Structure 1
């Protein structure tokens, strides 16, 4: 136990609400090393004022233990996902090899016990055997970074369920029996639950780094402050809710129908068209903003990402790249 006392492997990220959050490992209540969630504004004095986010409530003022069924003695590198078309409902992604994720129970302090994930496709699982050198052996698939929402076109194209995906950076950990190395891949997923894997990139080579050095990804964020590529999104000028509602009408209706109460087959007073109309009206009036767009969590292909890396467990670095360059070559599932 003394070897893993204290906090380790922090992952700092923004939620769609604009909260600066951190998932960090420390000694668990239910296992040896657990995962905890906290709002950084509760830790860093004046952070809220410096980031101009004083109007967003702090939901996680203390370390909040996260959990899942069949906890391992050591858990690490979990990341959160948000369903933009379900009021940014929060999910925890636990594992890619034996894919597992689950929704958080209100008030988002403990995970449900049922995973909703479909299995990872072969193009992810097969990476463990995809090594050309016989003296290298793959050890594991590791989750690496937080997730971000990317619209697969340049600003100001309108984000919809058809052109917007979740991206997370994943590792293959391997060794030559003496040293550890990582290969890095961007994983592309649907933007809505159950977040099926759509594809992945090839091994990401970070410019200025050495392939013989142990380099691993820690987190990523949109760096729109230092690299402003375009004006802020304006719903009234760039295409408002009427456009994305029209584009997504079938998906919205399907969701509302699934949530509707069951009706007896002999009840001839039920009018499906009226129910659809009411559902669309409720959805259209519930928000004046495109549900995919948020300053800290969402970006376009021409936006710049800041990718934070660890080097040999004794140094850190930062790489800037556009989302377009990161996702330039994708193999589809």
Structure 2
């Protein structure tokens, strides 16, 4: 600040009435302006230093503290955290190209023939597979689709919820909702917000010891398979074992987990999650991909392994089982499998394993008036998969297997080629691993990875049994990121079957 006075009287006035201004705290300046003398007083730098010493030093500290407290009060009232790392919403669209390949050509053999059996959608305009969306969860995978029990053109869809962004999360869940096809884009999507399928978490001590201790921390179901039996729908899923394996397989009546309406329920028949046992009593640390099948009389069995040998047994309502029945079919099965099953060259990077649930089919068309379901023309079928893992990228090739619906349930046929779901990305479209060099990327020929998980009849009211001209849903995951499905004519799966008779 500056004070200006006329110099005629300022000297005497300052000396008499303002003696403090003669102190070093102020400096004086006299200057000419139009012939007049003026006298100015300015606070010196010494005064500012003194303000920051002694009692004056408390004022800036008090002011800073006041601002800090007001800031805290503001953030508390606004319910906003102080600046911390933020996660990105999982309910927004993704820019990933997964599930939208530019090249959908079926791979060719050296002689120009196709390596796969192609199957096409009966509903999409371009005949390709369709995407399945669970609200904003664009990365849900391992799709399951069954027709809604009450509404036409409506389906119940289930898939693995994508993992959260929480560091080292161990929580798993399955998403579920009622869904329909969107007429604008052909996507099967929820018509209401997806919910968490209320499967109870399990806990046991089977993971204690060795390398599997970590699995005891896992919470919730994973890799669920939803499917129809002859009467009711079920879900088989993985969860912590209590009586069997570290990560066991469980089964539950699906109707008790969703708004199904009123139906009759059999007492004590999978009314809660029921742990599935193996007949030999020996378990792997992580059990996966069990499927159920039914004989012509409606008796239920569990199928555990397809390779290197089959294992299956009759199952009771408490999850316990009878003896392994596969040895009864082994004399015929072993010959057929030796000829018809895909050959493994590198057993460390190539595997054969079960994939989908089972259904039964009569090998004639429903539209044919002479077609009747009989023991001689009705069989159980499944899809199993050849898995390869090279260059840090997995590929799955689904094959069809047919076996008898009567004991000893021997294998009757295996497809000569794997199934190619139209729309799957052809050579070069497989998801490239991180760190792939330019030369390796230029030579990349792997195809898009589709992992088939479920089958069901599309029409409402169809459950376990169907005919060749019925439409069938296949549900699958795409590169472990996107959920997909395709509706095909069931007979297209069986156009190139290799018979087990005569092998």
- TM-score w.r.t. the length of structure 1 is 0.71
Q: Distance in 2 between matches of 1:327 and 1:16?
A: 22
The equivalent residue for 1:115 is: 325
SS in 2 for 1:326: helix
The equivalent residue for 1:11 is: 225
Q: Distance in 2 between matches of 1:121 and 1:219?
A: 26
Alpha-carbon offset, residue 4 of structure 1: 4.7
Aligned length: 253
| Within-5 A mapping of 1:21-100 | 21-29=234-242, 30-44=244-258, 46-49=259-262, 54-57=263-266, 59-68=269-278, 69-84=281-296, 87-97=297-307, 98-100=309-311
Alpha-carbon offset, residue 216 of structure 1: 1.0
Q: Distance in 1 between matches of 2:312 and 2:492?
A: 28
Q: Distance in 1 between matches of 2:387 and 2:337?
A: 13
Q: Distance in 2 between matches of 1:209 and 1:81?
A: 29
SS in 1 for 2:355: strand
Q: Distance in 2 between matches of 1:89 and 1:116?
A: 16
Does the CA contact (< 8 Å) of 1:24 and 1:36 recur in 2?
yes
The equivalent residue for 1:210 is: 425
Unaligned runs of 5+ in 1: 226-293
Alpha-carbon offset, residue 41 of structure 1: 1.6
Q: Could you list the per-position Cα deviations for residues 296-320 of structure 1 after superposition, in whole angstroms to 9, with x for gaps in the alignment?
A: 0000100000000111112111111
- TM-score w.r.t. the length of structure 2 is 0.48
Q: Could you list the per-position Cα deviations for residues 140-166 of structure 1 after superposition, in whole angstroms to 9, with x for gaps in the alignment?
A: 111000110100001141111111111
The equivalent residue for 1:152 is: 363
Q: Could you list the per-position Cα deviations for residues 175-204 of structure 1 after superposition, in whole angstroms to 9, with x for gaps in the alignment?
A: 224211111101011111221111111210
| Within-5 A mapping of 1:250-329 | 295-329=462-496
Unaligned runs of 5+ in 2: 1-213, 427-446
The equivalent residue for 2:79 is: none
Q: Distance in 2 between matches of 1:295 and 1:20?
A: 11
SS in 2 for 1:41: helix
Q: Distance in 2 between matches of 1:166 and 1:331?
A: 16
Higher Cα Rg: structure 1 or 2?
Answer: 2
Alpha-carbon offset, residue 48 of structure 1: 3.0
The change in CA–CA distance for 1:138 and 1:200 in structure 2 (over 3 A counts) is: farther
Q: Distance in 2 between matches of 1:173 and 1:321?
A: 23
